[in-house]
A and B are shown apart, each in its own frame.
Chain A
Amino acid sequence: MTDLGWIDPVLAAARPRVMGALLRYFRTLDTAEEAFQEACLRALKSWPQNGPPRDAAAWLILVGRNAAMDQVRRQARQTELPDEALLSDLDDAEASLADRLDGEHYKDDILRLLFICCHPELPATQQIALALRIVCGLSVKQIAHAFLVGEAAMEQRITRAKARIGNAGMAFETPGAPERAERLAAVASMIYLLFNEGYSSSTSREAEARTPLAEEAIWLVRLLLRLFPSEPEIMGLTALMLLQRARAKARFDGDGNIVLLEDQDRGLWSRPRIAEGLALIDKAMRHRRPGPYQIQAAIAALHARAQRDTDTDWAQIDLLYANLERLQPSPVVTLNRAVAVSKVRGPEAALEMIEPLGGRLQGYFYWVFRKSCG
């Protein structure tokens, strides 16, 4: 095997599960990270010669755990280390044992790892920076670049976040159903926040720098959906992000200025992402347990289905926004609904609807509404 391009994706894919398990063993992020790094170094030495193990994550967990425990022992007693090859050469029996042991835990391990990043004491910007570093494995440099800040500032932000979590303590017991649902909701909203960080750019240059944020968010939400395949809101969130992201190429013109939805060249929209988003929202709707992400995804789906802007089913979008208003009342939702209403019943009806919002929307209100009502 001369082309080693396959190794990095395997390591990246295994990362959440391995980090989650190592965190359960060692209970501090720094030790878990060091153990993971060590396991990756050994994989880079061993895999090119021996080929990939059948279960890469189980291999990395066991090697990482052995290496870190050895480190602890070495520090404690200064004893002789076993041969390097002994540490990295696991036979399949041992790996499958590790797999069985971890198989039952891994969902909660990964959820815990994600949930730790959403600690309520952390401000949102620290939450997502930490998730990018710990779960996605982006370098501090990559994260700093995506957030358009200096490397030292980002390093400090992440170090601070880790310290805060360390002081606040983490819950390691297996969560019950209500805690799990709570964790899931917190993680979903952190991922959507990360996605929006990658999406909310007003110039194409900024958007390009922020692209990794949106892509990592999609990677994370897919991870979450694989862990919880029957949660309609997670299907909805995945669909929402895919459908929005599908428009990325059409959002800026040649001069780097933003292009509004109605003026976008729909030929530039990514068809595979739209197909996947539509399939997922279709799947979510079968559960008949609507939620805010599903409704927003259904709205995005109606835009995606319209061949031209004039084909958009605004009446249906109005209805969906009305539902969203009930579930999640906010002036921004009402404003978005008003845009749909203006298309169906004219600007008068729309203005009437947003009158009561008055000053709460301020600049945002005028900017969006003027552009949308034309």
Chain B
Amino acid sequence: MLYAILCYNSEEAIGSWSRDHHDETMTRLHAVGDKLARQGRLGPVARLLPTTAATTLRKGREEMVIDGPFAETKEQLLGFYIVDCASLEDALDTAKDLAKANPGTGSYEIRPVAEFHPSQLPDEDKPAP
């Protein structure tokens, strides 16, 4: 079974980290990641840009584009796509295609990816499509 581990924290606090605290924390986190990779258990890893760079597409009878991250508390995170887009406009069009395929309620938050490390899982562990 593959598990997604989603990271939450206050980006204001992260933004106040000293260089040293940042580097030390990243070294510790990389050590955990390296161990998982050696065991053949590490899938893709991404670090997202801050929520200030986010845009949200809200589904509904009329789609709405909102500056900022997804902020509702009555809906839950169900999944995510990583898509290569030429621009935010392009990313919004992609989200609109998804909204057309799955209309009604819900939202897509569009957040640029700061760092992306592709999967290091052995092929046979990849989930069936």
Binding site for B on A (CB under 8 A): 5-6, 8-10, 12-14, 219, 222-223, 225-226, 229-230, 235, 238, 272, 275-276, 279-280, 282-283, 286
Chain B residue with Cβ nearest A285: B88
- Judged by DSSP, the binding face of A is helix
The answer to whether A222 touches B21 (Cβ under 8 A) is no
The answer to whether A13 touches B13 (Cβ under 8 A) is yes
Give the residues in chain A near B25, CB-CB below 8 Å. 5
B interface size (C-beta, 8 A): 27
Partner of A226, one of B13, B21, B52, B115: B52
Given A230-B68, A282-B88, A283-B55, A275 contacting B15 (CB threshold 8 A): no
Partner of A225, one of B13, B17, B52, B55: B52
Q: A79: shortest Cβ distance to chain B, in Å?
A: 37
The answer to whether A9 touches B50 (Cβ under 8 A) is no
The answer to whether B10 touches A280 (Cβ under 8 A) is no
The answer to the question of B36 belonging to the interface, with a C-beta cut-off of 8 Å to chain A, is no
Binding site for A on B (CB under 8 A): 10, 12-18, 21, 24-25, 49-53, 55, 65-68, 87-89, 112, 114-115
14 contacts between A and B (CB under 8 A): A6-B13, A9-B13, A9-B17, A9-B21, A14-B12, A222-B15, A225-B52, A226-B12, A272-B115, A276-B49, A279-B112, A282-B87, A282-B89, A283-B53
The answer to whether A280 touches B53 (Cβ under 8 A) is yes
Given A229-B68, A286-B89, A276 contacting B13 (CB threshold 8 A): no
The answer to whether A276 touches B53 (Cβ under 8 A) is yes
The answer to whether B67 touches A276 (Cβ under 8 A) is no
The answer to whether B68 touches A219 (Cβ under 8 A) is no
Contacts beyond the supplied A13-B16, A279-B88, A280-B52: 5 A-B pairs with Cβ under 8 Å: A14-B12, A225-B52, A275-B49, A286-B65, A286-B88
The answer to whether A13 touches B12 (Cβ under 8 A) is yes
CA gap between A280 and B55 in the complex, in Å: 10
Given A276-B114, A286-B88, A222 contacting B13 (CB threshold 8 A): no
The answer to whether B49 touches A10 (Cβ under 8 A) is no
Give the residues in chain A near B68, CB-CB below 8 Å. 229-230
The answer to whether B52 touches A275 (Cβ under 8 A) is no
